[in-house]
Amino acid sequence: MTKIYKTHSLLPHNTFGIDATAENFVEFSSVDDIVAFLSKGFDGRSLVIGGGSNLLFVNDFDGTVFHSAIMGMEIVDENENDLLLRVGSGVNWDELVAYTVEQGWGGLENLSAIPGEVGASAVQNVGAYGVEAGELIAKVETVRLDDATRREFTHDDCSFSYRHSIFKDTEKGKHIITYVTYRLSKKPVFKLTYGNLNEKVEQLGGATLANVRRAVCEIREAKLPSPEKIGSAGSFFMNPVVPASVAESLTNEYPSMPQYPLACGDVKLSAGWLIEQCGWKDTPHEHVGVYKHQALVVINRGGATGKNVLDFAEAVVASVKEKFGVTLNMEVNVID
């Protein structure tokens, strides 16, 4: 079924809690439905959204917003070690993670409690606690917006990197993701080296899928605002990557600055730390601020417009640039 709405509120469709509208809103529940809709010919501005957990609407959207309500999961292949699970793009991300943990299938447990839907996991390459969704993605199925043809992207086609994929690059804005297939393990190998994750898991009784999920949920709950209570889009900025020489001179000046050397020789810095050092935890604006436990998360303190948030974010970027000479890039997709 395809549902078509005119002048539709986007408030329930963005975790920032921005009160914007879409000129048209199209929600479909099968591949055939969206193919039939697009086959009639579609042009004009378009935006494909998932759970709206990584979006900032600065204005009302003067075009068509597409939302997938394709549900369901099925095993499409398996052997004694692993399996391929094909999942509808409209499935809630954490329901998928919870289900795979219950089944005893390893891979997604470190990605527990991330807001959003399955389709977006392939666009954003969502990541947390040492795991990125792209590592597990075997295939992405799409329908092209311009000619309604079905496409398939293998893992390699997707060019996953930190919070990035081909769907944010050369294929940006061209596809509606319909299904994502994940390769999961029947013999889980735990990744517990990030921060205090291992310690938490040990406190819960040792490494099992359920304990890793519980530990991750508890860490996130302590550090990140719950979208039901406080409007935000998770990390607003990406962690910046700088050349080793820049990182070294920053360490000399700021010995406590967290730094994470990458295999390529560059160094990743912590955006949260940089923002906190600029004093933003203590200087909220009227409608906008950063979260008290994680400065990388910009929050709606109540009644913020998209423009309020963007102005605030730009002030944060300018202050980090001035103090540290480092440029922060936004992780959130700003839609104007």
Q: Which residues are catalytic?
A: 163, 235, 331
What is d(CA 17, CA 19) in angstroms, rounded to the nearest whole number? 6
Q: Which stretch binds ligand EPU (CB under 6 A): 14-22, 173-181, 245-253, 290-298?
A: 290-298
Among 19, 266, 276, 311, the residue binding ligand EPU under the rule CB under 6 A is 276
Phi, psi dihedral angles at 257 (to 5 degrees):
-65, 125
Q: How far is the CB of 155 from ligand EPU (least distance, A)?
A: 21
**Which CB, 21 or 300, lies closer to ligand EPU?**
300
Among 151, 155, 183, 223, the residue binding ligand EPU under the rule CB under 6 A is 223
Q: Which stretch binds ligand EPU (CB under 6 A): 1-9, 59-67, 81-89, 270-278?
A: 270-278
Among 296, 299, 304, 317, the residue binding ligand EPU under the rule CB under 6 A is 296
Q: How far is the CB of 82 from ligand EPU (least distance, A)?
A: 24
**Which CB, 11 or 238, lies closer to ligand EPU?**
238
Residues 41-80, interacting with ligand EPU (CB under 6 A): none
**Which CB, 128 or 215, lies closer to ligand EPU?**
128
Among 148, 217, 238, 241, the residue binding ligand EPU under the rule CB under 6 A is 238
Q: How far is the CB of 70 from ligand EPU (least distance, A)?
A: 24
Burial grade of 6 (CB within 10 A; 0-12, 13-18, 19 or more) = exposed
Burial grade of 104 (CB within 10 A; 0-12, 13-18, 19 or more) = middle
Contacts 24+ apart (CB under 8 A), 38-43: 38/143, 38/144, 38/145, 38/147, 38/148, 39/148, 42/145, 42/146
> SS3 for 301?
coil
If binding is defined by CB under 6 A, does position 324 make contact with ligand EPU?
Answer: no
Contacts 24+ apart (CB under 8 A), 75-79: 76/181, 78/186
Phi, psi dihedral angles at 30 (to 5 degrees):
-155, 165
Among 235, 308, 319, 333, the residue binding ligand EPU under the rule CB under 6 A is 235
Q: How far is the CB of 38 from ligand EPU (least distance, A)?
A: 31
If binding is defined by CB under 6 A, does position 87 make contact with ligand EPU?
Answer: no
**Which CB, 239 or 308, lies closer to ligand EPU?**
239
If binding is defined by CB under 6 A, does position 328 make contact with ligand EPU?
Answer: no
If binding is defined by CB under 6 A, does position 333 make contact with ligand EPU?
Answer: no
- Give alpha helix (H) positions in the chain: 31-39, 93-103, 118-124, 197-203, 209-223, 244-253, 271-277, 306-324
Question: How many chain residues are in contact with ligand EPU, going by CB under 6 A?
Answer: 19
Phi, psi dihedral angles at 290 (to 5 degrees):
-105, 155
Give me the residues paired with residue 250 across strands: none
Q: Of 85, 97, 87, which Cα lies nearest the Cα of 126? A: 97
Q: How far is the CB of 123 from ligand EPU (least distance, A)?
A: 13
Residues 111-140, interacting with ligand EPU (CB under 6 A): 128-129
What is d(CA 74, CA 181) in angstroms, rounded to the nearest whole number? 9
Tokens representing 221 are: 């709950």
> What would the x/- binding string for ligand EPU be over residues 177 to 206, using CB under 6 A?
-----------------xx-----------
What is d(CA 189, CA 11) in angstroms, rounded to the nearest whole number? 40
Please enumerate in sequence order all residues whose Cβ is within 8 A of that of 97, keeping only pairs 6 or more positions apart, or say none.
108, 109, 111, 112, 113, 114, 213
Which residues in this chain contact ligand EPU in the complex, by CB under 6 A?
A: 128-129, 194-195, 223-224, 234-235, 238-239, 258, 270, 272-273, 276, 294-296, 331
